[in-house]
Structure 1
């Protein structure tokens, strides 16, 4: 029995937790940061003010996770983010191909709770900051509404990934809110006051077909006249979830302190929209639909942005400026929305893409005036225009992984965040990130600790691409298509393809490359040809007079002609794919980007893949063979296709593909890292969209590792992840290793991006 005592005796319990790093915000950014730091040995407290993890990606909001891949609607090939972002998206695709948001909640929770170094506090809101001095945070005060407990969270380092920057704000960190003028940074796309300075919130709904008529009576607060929304004709009975991203409001208000007011306005709109769909008589197909779910909290786009030692600007994104302290990348469009949201007469968004992915510098990931505060998620140091790209979840989480790894360096070196840059520790940070699968554009891993760097490498076979084996099938040229091929420096060899036609016609063929190394926008035309095609099957040889100055990807373009059927193949190959000049309205891709001259954006065409099972390769033959798939690639320090496949690929006919490593003297190995191909070109949207595969077709599923004497050290079956770490029970001393593997399928040969061995 519990007795009450006197009123003055009562207080909520207080719990003190000391850690190496406290991360505030349990969205995708906070989750990826927490796991990254915890796996490196830091004691991490992850504080989340909601009952689930994921933030805008959670079942509470239900926005899909996107980043540089942009729904495969831009020219950023093989651009899905690495590290924990990649691991989580691959895991979700494997467990949850239907993109159920409830299952995704579970995927995130499962990932976090598997880490013993993470203390997770759900339903716990930070409300105060205790400071050691003017520039140093000492502790956070937080309160959990469910257990009525107050927490004091003490650490030498803090990371604010809360979206609104609650820790940074309370700590006195320098921040901005609203747009900069075009004069401040020379950003030509800086918005006018008419357009507005803040992006608003969105709130979604889901509908369900019950199979029988369903009556709907709207609440009294529902918007009565949906025609007050300029785009009311865009509403239909079929769209739901984050396809309704444009139900947006609040950009003229304080997007922090007016959030509840904004939410109520969005509720009015949503319930009014559903009343319009159900009761206007304009949607007879909605008769059996019911409103299954409406968001309880809005998805936020923009509020505070904090100032670091470097503020990213429009030019960083569009020009892909290089930074010596690059630690991450982005690639979403510069995506601004009118501040009036759904009530604006203007289009719901204003997306302008760049020609490739861009670097994110470390100096943008810590506060310039609070010495022990890292910036995570969407609050990193960026102008309003640059923020329009860096704000999306996969990009924000990718940058937060870098901040978390920097916290590891700070702990190990006994320094504060800015010192990682100013004391020359960025190369250490970059190396640690790359070792865990973090791709940094323009930077290859230089890893002297990797024993593979001193090994002799021998493969059972190496792909020399002369063409795709097996049968081909014709498909009409309804769209212009290009085969994206990695070609070595030097003279381009003749190619052969087959085309069918019912009548005499011509086929326009082009050879193009990209003007920027490592990018995949075919904006330089090297040659054009017009080829006669006759009735029946045509075997056509393509000969180009071009000599390539450097190894890179070339686009063999076949322009649209429905009279021609081009032969395709069902075979797939790491680092090789077909792309199409097509339209993806979801990301403002209309085949060609033609911006106004005065906004600082570029004109170019979009050439994008089709989602499997479509997107077949063109059945091209390359007579002399492309020798860019050698075993040496597994130690070249780049673990995805960029200017070349960067992978070892076994020959199609190799019945037992394997890689062998041999050292002149025995070495001691404690763990082995392997990086396989889980298709970095697939966006793997986390909700709403379904996926035809649970495992990417390029990924090696089954392999075993043996030492020089043939003893099996590890055997893995049913793998589907990119990064496999094989931690040996006891270190092994041996003069060699052999990795035996199976081809993923008869259609796809085995491929490995990297093998690294450590003591």
Structure 2
């Protein structure tokens, strides 16, 4: 596709439009016929003269008609009062929430001239400081699933700068500023804030030609043209106005056999919108006089099931939707949510049994822009269903992933006081990380329209998982990269998915995205196939802790096996029973570090736990296994017996072994991973060493089918990479560890496991010459470029981390860019 960066401006031109060639042209029209039509629409046709009778004024146009056009109410509008600006781009992203922002940055980074058009005055959408929904903590519900790429860059920088904790309702302008800065860094990205898109201009039924926008405060109208458009509006506005096929409401269970779907279909989706507030301690009593128009909650029973003990930051459950329409009735919903919010605050200040605790607190912020959950879902070539979330498959055109549970809120929100929203069981709502294909991210019938964020192609049940901010951000980055590749190949998204999926995956993985089921196969990466050695490496070790997990339900743990045998597994068990108990353990293989779907044991072993016992119990399996694979051991419920567990200290260096996952099975079939850095205590015979330097070139930058992490035995440490052949290179890419298993909430925080001080060196005669490095790093992904070097080796020397006692590095790549 040709590169476009033309700008045209014009003022005072009547009847402007855009032809197929993209040029301004005048379109004549019959002013009297239009006026008659408008009067008829307004019910005023009786004031028109009879047919065939023309007034003198109508027969002889007045010079004063110049610069006027008919208004919809029957009058006229003066033209030439606004500047009209035309801007042509390679891709136009409409919507500057976290999905649209990541899409625009990704497209621009890959050489595509990009416009980001956003109707608010700051970026971030639901996550911005005017709404204050933080990008949700996915790792609360799943393991080894933290979203990386552009979102991780932004999150990491924001935590370093922000003096407030990372908590729902407390997002502030530091977040806004980091988003703004990340956009400004991209030379190929132009930002249009306070610009709302009102119209979509079609070239033909399957092609968008342009979108028309109006900018608040500048008296400008914009005409944006491009070969490709991205709908990141949340509501699916662009797709809807372009005539794209879309879904709204809930499908019946019978349509796709989805467990979470209702028995009957409904054109009324049931999740609502939320307003947040912020309260601060004023150091002195702050009275609250309730306005007469707000809701009232006289007693605790009026807030049953709605925890309001922390009254500093608002609540997601102040949610209003049905019976109103979540898009058309947005203003009515906002007003009702405001009534409910102030009613809750009145309860906290004046009626709550614990109101003395809030005596000195006053409202510091109340949002007037709702956090939306619902969306039109634009239909693509692939429709993601709940089955994709519960039992994922690999997709060759995958561009992102999801890991939030199937989270359908109960209808009515806070208006249904007697029915608080309760989290569904993991058996019903649990997922494992699943791929989202490009085919679900472009319109089926409007061929140059991509989607990012909430409007992607899903059923309602799947949407309840994909709708969250972090999933939107990963999909946004993938869509932006796809748009750039479409420009490179001069093709549409459908053709890219069919013909260039491998290149799409290579680019995604190189730019720190996760494509479930696929590893690095980039032919340009010179480090593929390299031999890697290191100064030291850490063994697999399950540290002992002082916590116990009572075996009231089945429990299990996934672990990596580097060798070809599992002779025995020793579990640290504690029995409070007065009698000995025999336990039968099973051993199974896992496809991924989070995958407990296997139902067949490779082997079983039986052992006896003595009465009143605390110690290791040996289960002898004597099983030959595939090396460099994941396996898991599971136990049945055993009354009176516990399995020792270890929990990482939140925001401290991780001591729980990478790639190992503890789990419980609360229902009949679905295992629930225990999150936030927990493991059960065990020992494996023979000892395993899964954290060697060869992981740097294993093809992945996170735990998936293997831990894929190099962990040194001590600091300082070095790794040496011997390339397959002597090569010329000028770029080294490193992926460090910013804790793929946990999000931080801490203010002014750096991930302690991340490498801080390091050098990249190449051989120089009898020694080593420094090519690049950093003395104060805190980012996960670093790309260093330097003058070309020809060598068959390079070395990474790591002197210091941001707090951990060992170096942790996921991936090393080498390029001659």
TM-score by length of 1: 0.86
Matches of 2:316 and 2:731 in 1, distance apart?
45
> Equivalent residues in 2 for 1:536-551 (5 A)?
538=615, 541-548=618-625, 551=629
SS at match of 1:206: strand
How many residue pairs end up in the alignment? 715
Q: Structure 1 residue aligned with 2:138, among 36, 50, 70?
A: 70
Q: Which region of structure 1 is more displaced relative to structure 2, 200-209 or 507-516?
A: 507-516
C-alpha deviations, 1:708-732, integer Å up to 9, x for none? 211100021222222111122x222
Matched residue, 1:262: 333
Within the alignment, does 1:704 sit opposite 2:766 as a pair? no
Partners of 2:178 and 2:579 in 1: how far apart?
54
How much has 1:40 moved relative to structure 2? 0.8
8 Å Cα contact 1:477/1:562 also seen in 2: no
Does the Cα contact within 8 Å between 1:633 and 1:646 map onto a contact in 2? yes
Query: Is 1:383 the counterpart of 2:445 in the alignment?
Result: no
Matched ranges for 1:434-513 at <5 A? 434-465=509-540, 467=541, 475-477=546-548, 484-488=558-562, 490-495=564-569, 511=585
Q: In 2, are the aligned partners of 1:191 and 1:197 still within 8 Å (CA)?
A: no
1:745 to 1:206, Cα distance in 2 relative to 1, 3 A: closer
Q: 1:483–1:579: 8 Å Cα contact kept in structure 2?
A: yes
Give the TM-score of the pair, scaled to structure 2: 0.80
In structure 2, do the counterparts of structure 1 residues 666 and 528 end up closer, same or farther at CA, with 3 Å as the change threshold? closer
Indicate whether 1:373 and 2:441 are aligned.
no
Are 1:753 and 2:753 an aligned pair? no
- The equivalent residue for 2:11 is none
Counterparts in 2 of 1:708 and 1:178: CA distance versus 1, 3 Å: same
Q: Which residue of 2 aligns with 1:339?
A: 411
Distance 1:517 1:666, change over 3 A: closer
1:173 maps to what in 2?
Answer: 244
Q: In structure 2, what is the Cα distance between the partners aligned to 1:263 and 1:301?
A: 13
Matched ranges for 1:549-560 at <5 A: 551-555=629-633
Matched, 1:274 2:274: no
Distance 1:353 1:233 in 2: 20
Match 2:780 to one of 702, 707, 722: 722
Following the alignment from structure 1 to structure 2, what is the Cα–Cα distance between the partners of residues 239 and 229? 17
Match of residue 662 from structure 1: 722
Aligned with 1:146 (options 212, 217, 231) = 217
8 A contact 2:582–2:609 mirrored in 1: no
Could you report, residue by residue, the CA deviation over 1:99-141 in whole angstroms, capped at 9, with x for unpaired residues? 2512212221121112222111111111112222222112211
**Superposed displacement of residue 330, structure 1:** 0.8
CA distance in structure 2 between the partners assigned to 1:264 and 1:536 by the alignment? 61
Secondary structure of the 2:480 match is helix
**1:622-661 correspondence runs (5 A):** 622-650=684-712, 652-653=713-714, 655-661=715-721
For residue 81 of structure 1, the aligned residue among 139, 147, 159 is 147
What are the Cα deviations for residues 624-682 of structure 1, in whole angstroms up to 9, with x where unaligned?
Answer: 321322322222211111232112332x25x5422222346532212111111211111
1:395 CA drift (Å): 0.8
Residue matched to 1:137: 208
- Kindly indicate whether the alpha-carbon contact (under 8 Å) linking 1:378 and 1:391 is maintained by their aligned counterparts in 2: yes
Aligned residue in 2 for 1:671: 731
The corresponding residue for 1:607 is 673
Is residue 584–residue 635 contact of structure 2 (8 Å, CA) maintained in 1?
A: yes
| Aligned equivalent of 2:793 | 736
Does the CA contact (< 8 Å) of 1:80 and 1:682 recur in 2?
yes
- DSSP 3-state at the match of 2:687: strand
1:592 to 666, 683, 697: 666
Q: Does the alignment pair 1:202 with 2:260? A: no
CA distance in 2, matches of 1:635, 1:739: 14
Matched with 1:600 is none
Change (3 A) 1:341 1:145: same
1:288 counterpart (345, 348, 360): 360
Describe the shift of the 1:543–1:273 C-alpha distance in structure 2 as closer, same or farther (beyond 3 A).
Answer: same
Corresponding residue number in structure 1 for 2:324 = 253
1:233-273 deviations in whole A, cap 9, x for unaligned? 6353424546x212211233221111001100101111111
Q: 1:353 to 1:734 in 2, by over 3 A?
A: same
Supply the distance in 1 between the matched residues of 2:640 and 2:217 (Cα, whole angstroms).
63
In the TM superposition, what whole-angstrom CA distance separates every residue of 1:55-86 from its partner, at most 9, and x where no partner exists?
111111111212xx63423xx32111221122
Farther off after superposition, 371-380 or 528-537: 528-537
Alignment correspondent of 1:520: 594
Residue 736 of structure 2 contacts residue 781 of structure 2 at CA under 8 Å; is this kept in 1? yes
Query: How far apart are residue 203 of structure 1 and its match?
Result: 1.3
Q: Deviations over 1:271-295 (max 9, x none)?
A: 1111122222533322222222211
3-state DSSP class of the match of 1:604? coil
For the Cα contact (< 8 Å) 1:507–1:558, is it kept in 2? no
Q: What's the C-alpha RMSD, in Å, of the aligned pairs? A: 3.3
For 2:814 and 2:209, the matched residues in 1 are separated by 40
Distance 1:561 1:211, change over 3 A: farther
Q: The residue matched to 1:629 in structure 2 has which SS? A: coil
Cα contact 2:605–2:620 (8 A) shared by 1: no
Partner of 1:90: 156
Change over 3 Å in CA distance of 1:353–1:514 after alignment to 2: farther
Q: Counterpart of 1:348?
A: 421
- 1:292-326 CA-to-partner distances (Å, cap 9, x unmatched) read 22111110001311111111112111221333322
CA distance in 2, matches of 1:90, 1:378: 24
Match for residue 362 of structure 1 among 419, 425, 438: 438
**Gap change, CA 1:23 and 1:9, over 3 Å in 2:** closer
Q: Give secondary structure in 1 for the equivalent of 2:223.
A: strand
Could you tell me how far 1:158 is from its partner in structure 2?
0.7
- What displacement does 1:473 show? 6.5
Deviates more, 1:175-184 or 1:451-460: 451-460
Displacement after TM superposition at 1:504 (Å): 7.0
Is 1:513–1:521's contact at 8 Å kept on the other side of the alignment?
no
Residues 647 and 377 of structure 1: CA distance in aligned 2, closer, same or farther (over 3 Å) = same
421, 428, 433: which one pairs with 2:497? Answer: 421
CA distance in 2, matches of 1:505, 1:456: 54
State the shift of 1:498 in Å.
6.4
Partner of 2:117: 47
Measured against aligned partners, the alpha-carbon deviations of 1:596-649 in whole angstroms (never above 9, x if no partner) come to: xxxxxxx434231346xxx4x666544532132232222221111123211233
Alignment of 1:303-342 (within 5 A): 303-342=375-414
Structure with more relative contact order (C-alpha pairs < 8 Å, separation 6 or more): 1
Q: How much has 1:553 moved relative to structure 2? A: 3.9
Distance 2:297 2:797 in 1: 66
